[in-house]
Amino acid sequence: MAETSIEWTQRPGTKGVTWNPSTGCDKISAGCGLPRFPGDDTGGCYAMAMAKRLKAMGQAKYQNDGDPRTSGPGFGVTMHTDVLPQPLKWRDPRTVFVNSMSDLGHARISREFVAQVWAVMAATPQHVYQILSKRPERMARILNDECRCGSGHAPGVHFRSAMDWASTPHSPTYVPGMQPGLYHRITWPLPNVWVGTSIELDKHVDRADALRATPAAVRFISAEPLLGPLPSLDLTGIDQIIIGGESGPGSRPMDLGWVRELISMARDADTAVFVKQLGLRWAGSGKGGDWTAWPEDLRIREYPADRVAVAS
């Protein structure tokens, strides 16, 4: 478990960490990385490149290879049940970025495993969790699962019962260290969990609809890497939008007009704005993150709810 440098994951005053109960993924859209050849709609994300290195270093979590067409060495989707109890041991409050090396919405991550992750988060209200997925439709479907037992239960009841099994000793999905009887301690949606989706191009704005359908205390959109304008984006019910350009060699440029349009849409929708970086071409420092080199109107870093500007 490494400390993360993903700056927006760390709310002021708390320690930011990553927690990777699953690893691995498959590319799904252009925001997954740079094209490898002309016309390629997808590339390889940072996590995929990192997994390749970690596999070569012999790290046990990264020995499962993914499909070479959409994934890579060490990046096969893998659920690590031994990693699930980690947050139960952290006494001090932390801001936890969940699955920096995977996508919890991936079809090969089981519903039971997602329920185990949610159960651990419910059992550790001292931490704030941030989950970002490019597959919000599946997340919404799992969290709102329809009644399958014929008793007419409300959507999500079965998911919460699967969470409860994760706190029940001797159940096959029990997470060691969990206190029994979680079901009756659950506040729904979990107040300490932020759920987000990435939207890099206008053709993916329907991910925001799936996010709106997801039970979550805080909903955020990561428009990073922003690869085009998002004129069709509806920010209704979205608490925060994070905006960033692509960084790294060969990165695709971000037009500041796209950023300004999003800021204006966010103002109308009362959505907090966090401009993370402006991409390689706008970097005073060459890294894209040098705040003082930016146009003044883009120096905005707000958090949901409190709307605190942390830098000026």
Among 17, 25, 84, 280, binds ligand SF4 (CB under 6 A): 25
With CB under 6 A as the contact rule, the residue among 17, 30, 32, 223 that binds ligand SF4 is 32
User: Between 79 and 123, whose beta carbon lies closer to ligand SF4?
Assistant: 79
Report the residue number, 173 or 197, with the smaller CB distance to ligand SF4. 197
Select the residue interacting with ligand SF4 from 10, 20, 22, 103 (CB under 6 A): 103
Provide the CA 23 distance to its chain's centre, in angstroms: 13
C-alpha 19: how far from its chain's center? 11
Size of the site for ligand SF4 (CB under 6 A): 9
Among 65, 153, 213, 291, binds Zn ion (CB under 5 A): 153
Please name the residue that has the structure tokens 């992750």: 117
Binder among 5, 89, 151, 249 for Zn ion (CB under 5 A): 151
**Contact residue for ligand SF4 among 8, 10, 18, 28 (CB under 6 A):** 28
- Contact region for ligand SF4 (CB under 6 A) — 15-23, 26-34, 239-247, 278-286? 26-34
Question: Which lies closer to Zn ion via its Cβ, residue 186 or residue 256?
Answer: 186
Sequence-ordered list of residues with C-beta below 8 angstroms from that of 69, at least 6 positions apart, any chain: none
Within the chain, strands assigned E span 15-19, 22-23, 78-79, 94-98, 128-133, 193-198, 218-223, 240-244, 272-277
To Zn ion, the closest distance from the beta carbon of 150 in angstroms equals 7
Tokens encoding 244: 């960033």
Footprint of ligand SF4 on 114-153 (CB under 6 A) = 134
Q: Which of 256, 195, 198, 232 is nearest to 31 (CA)?
A: 198
Stretch that binds Zn ion, among 57-65, 137-145, 152-160, 204-212 (CB under 5 A): 152-160
> Which range binds ligand SF4 by CB under 6 A, 12-20, 44-52, 57-65, 117-125?
44-52
To ligand SF4, the closest distance from the beta carbon of 183 in angstroms equals 31
Using a 10 angstrom Cβ sphere, with 0-12 exposed, 13-18 middle and 19 or more buried, the burial of residue 246 is buried
Return the residues of window 218-277 that contact ligand SF4 according to CB under 6 A.
Answer: none
CB within 8 Å of 275: residues ≥ 6 apart: 243, 244, 259, 263, 294, 298, 299, 300, 301
Tokens coding 136: 């919000």
CA distances from 101 to 97, 128, 192, 289, 312 (A): 10, 18, 21, 22, 31
Whose Cβ is closer to ligand SF4: residue 32's or residue 266's?
32
Beta bridge partners of 128: 95
Would the CA dihedral through 34, 36, 39, 43 be positive or negative? negative
Binding residue for Zn ion, selected from 1, 107, 147, 310, defined by CB under 5 A: 147
Residues that bind ligand SF4 (CB under 6 A): 25, 27-28, 32, 45, 47-48, 103, 134
Residues that bind Zn ion (CB under 5 A): 147, 149, 151, 153
